Amino acid sequence: MLAVVILAPVLLVLYQSVLDGAFFSEHAHLSLDAYRYVLSDPDFYSALKTTAIFTAGMVLISLPLGAVLAFLMTRFDMRFKAVLEILILMPMFLSSLILAFGYVVTIGPQGFLTIAWRAFFGKEIWNVYSLAGMTVVAGLSHVPHVYLYVSSAMSNLPTELEEAAQTCGSSPWRVLVDVTLPLVTPALVFATMLNVLLGVEVFGIPLILGDPQGITVLTTYIYKLSTMMGTPSYELMAVVAVCLLFMTLPMVWLQRRLLRRSQRFAVVGGKGARASSLSLGVRGQMLAMSIICGWLLVSVVLPISGIAIRAFVTAWGAGTDLWQQVSLQSFRDVLATPALVRSIGNTILLSVGGGGIAVAVYLMIALASHRNRSRSAVVLDYLVLLPRALPGIIVGLAFLWLFLFVPFLAPIRGTLLCILLAYMVVGLSYGLRIIQSTLLQVSPELEEAARVAGASIGRAWMDVVVPIIRPGLVGAFVLIMIVFIREYSTGLYLMGSGTEIVGPLIITLTQSGDLNPGAVLALLNILMIVAALGLALRLGARIRD
């Protein structure tokens, strides 16, 4: 059943790639022309190369930073933990398109910080419109993805081992490198993998920061294929998507190899408890705070202040007095447009309600598979990452076609339910992974004990396993909620009048005219999520105590 849901869009894309026209056209025939075209196009290879550099750079920045942040936040008596946690997750709330745009407003060539810098120091030393600029922006903004995985794994680790190390005189740094990191290897590997996939899939950042200069990555290359021939060349787009799929498979294989003996990581056994945090000391606090604040400044304050300013002004740039431009005009315009107002309500419903449903479904899948060492578990590992590997533009089209051409799905097209189904497939890899990686730490003896005591499998799960992994579930819920709010390309073809959602709407709004309504929606989007996340974390915190 699951396989059918996931494989349907993938198979459709595969089929489309070996045709010479749209699959539903009477004139389409089997043909490998599309492969010949793409594989002999020098632009494809240069996009591939740029993508590789971009992704590698992104992972190199996000992985260490995310791991260090998670370590500081989960293991030590950091102050203002609750607030910091929300702030750390902030960059994830923004679609990369919005994020990139926020940076342009603050540190672009005419950004207000750039202009201020010039007044004091002369020419600025950065350039966001470059491959390096793109990579740094993407790397910093993907830190939360690492953080979320690693911290949810760390918060389930008992602290005894680390306390032991610290008692023996190890510095926090040594504790991290020698004790904690090895124990959370599964989460680190998942996070790396996911970030590689995300890096290949990022669209907004290369589009805004790279494209005007002619820096093309695979996603912007696919975008080009949708218009280059006049009418969309579905077959060429499908070919590139298939190439991306084949790049994913070896990564999943690698991950499986690395984690083959996952039993090693089971440390939450029949005894032991999650215990208190370690002490950092005053100097340690200050150092940790400055690392966190430095990162927050660059990856949260800069882009979000850019968006916030842009939402309140209609003109900016050199020679413009921002104070004179401040007005609520853009907000009034948005509130006067029913579709835009509707989109806000729909998005909340989809992310909170839909997110809850999604996590429940993912939990069932995870429970059904995690003690299962049979071949189907192997297949599942490969399956869940497949839709993630498809670029958003393609996923959006594939789902449109499924809902159009599969008879029993057709009636729900045009409802929020159809958007939720598509989103659940897209969010599957995120949600399932986070649940699985916490499940891995629960050693089987706990369930075995419950079974011996006479509980059924379902009872053992509900009464023993689920309560233990609850922090992981909350983490998964928050993540899925964010993914659903932020997602923009999947819903492009699925939303209609009455089922508008903010993410795709921002894309449509930025096609023509001006960016005013888009900026307002982006800002409202951020505020909405901060509220939702604050609530979720409060819930999570109570559970963790």
Partner 1 sequence: MGAAACTGLLTAKARAQSSPSALIKTAQTEGKVVVYSTTDSQYSQPMFKAFTRKFGVVVEENALATSNLYSLVISEAAANQVGSDVVWSAATDLQMALQVAGHAQVYVSEETSALPDWARYRDALFATSIEPVGFAYNTRTLQVDEVPHTYADLIRFVSESPKLQGRVATTDAEKSGLAYMLHANDAKRHPQAYWKLAAAIGKAGAKTYVSSANVMESVTSGENVLATHVNGSYALEIQAKNPNLRAHFLSDFTACLLRVSFINVRAPRPNAAKLLQDFMLSHEGQSILAANGLPAARGGEGSSPLRKLKDITGVEVEPIKLDETLLENIDKGKRLAFVRDWKKAIGR
Question: Where do contacts with partner 1 occur on this chain (CB under 8 A)?
Answer: 22, 24-25, 104-105, 108-110, 207-208, 211-214, 220, 223-224, 226-232, 314-320, 329, 333, 337, 339-340, 397, 400-401, 404-405, 410, 413-414, 492-493, 495-498, 505, 507-515, 517-518
Q: Which is nearer to partner 1, 192 or 510 (CB)?
A: 510
Note whether 475 and 540 are within 8 A (CB): yes
18 half-sphere exposure, CB direction, 13 A CA radius: 5
Which position has the token pair 């001006």?
514
Closest CB 234 distance from partner 1, rounded Å: 8
Neighbours of 467 (CB within 10 A): 10
DSSP code of 30?
A: B
Closest CB 271 distance from partner 1, rounded Å: 57
- Report the amino acid identity of residue 490: T
Token digits of residue 343? 């989109």
Q: Which is nearer to partner 1, 133 or 472 (CB)?
A: 133
Q: Which is nearer to partner 1, 418 or 440 (CB)?
A: 418
Q: Which is nearer to partner 1, 234 or 423 (CB)?
A: 234
Closest CB 311 distance from partner 1, rounded Å: 13
Q: Which is nearer to partner 1, 226 or 443 (CB)?
A: 226
Phi-psi region of 122 (alpha: psi -120 to 50; beta: other; left: phi over 0): left
Closest CB 282 distance from partner 1, rounded Å: 44
Q: Helices 42-75 & 81-93, crossing angle to 10 degrees?
A: 170
Q: Which is nearer to partner 1, 71 or 316 (CB)?
A: 316
Q: Which is nearer to partner 1, 171 or 337 (CB)?
A: 337
- Report the amino acid identity of residue 536: A
Closest CB 401 distance from partner 1, rounded Å: 6
Closest CB 299 distance from partner 1, rounded Å: 22
Closest CB 114 distance from partner 1, rounded Å: 10
Note whether 311 and 515 are within 8 A (CB): no
Token digits of residue 408? 């029993």
Closest CB 133 distance from partner 1, rounded Å: 14
Q: Which is nearer to partner 1, 15 or 405 (CB)?
A: 405
Closest CB 10 distance from partner 1, rounded Å: 18
Which position has the token pair 């005419």?
110
Which position has the token pair 């215990």?
275
* Distance (Å, whole) CA 465 – CA 468: 5
* Distance (Å, whole) CA 241 – CA 14: 8
Q: Which is nearer to partner 1, 131 or 481 (CB)?
A: 131
Note whether 50 and 133 are within 8 A (CB): no
Q: Which is nearer to partner 1, 117 or 382 (CB)?
A: 117
Token digits of residue 183? 């124990």
Long-range (24+ apart) CB contacts under 8 A made by 463-469 are 465/367, 465/439, 466/363, 468/156, 468/268, 468/442, 469/156, 469/435, 469/438, 469/439, 469/442
Backbone angles phi, psi at 269, to 5 degrees: -100, -155
Contacts of 187 (CB under 8 A, 6+ apart): 149, 150, 152, 153, 154, 437
* Distance (Å, whole) CA 23 – CA 14: 11
Closest CB 521 distance from partner 1, rounded Å: 12
* Distance (Å, whole) CA 111 – CA 317: 6
Q: Which is nearer to partner 1, 256 or 342 (CB)?
A: 342
Closest CB 452 distance from partner 1, rounded Å: 55
Q: Which is nearer to partner 1, 178 or 333 (CB)?
A: 333
SS3 content of the chain, % helix, strand, coil (to 5): 75, 0, 25
Note whether 199 and 143 are within 8 A (CB): no
Closest CB 199 distance from partner 1, rounded Å: 21
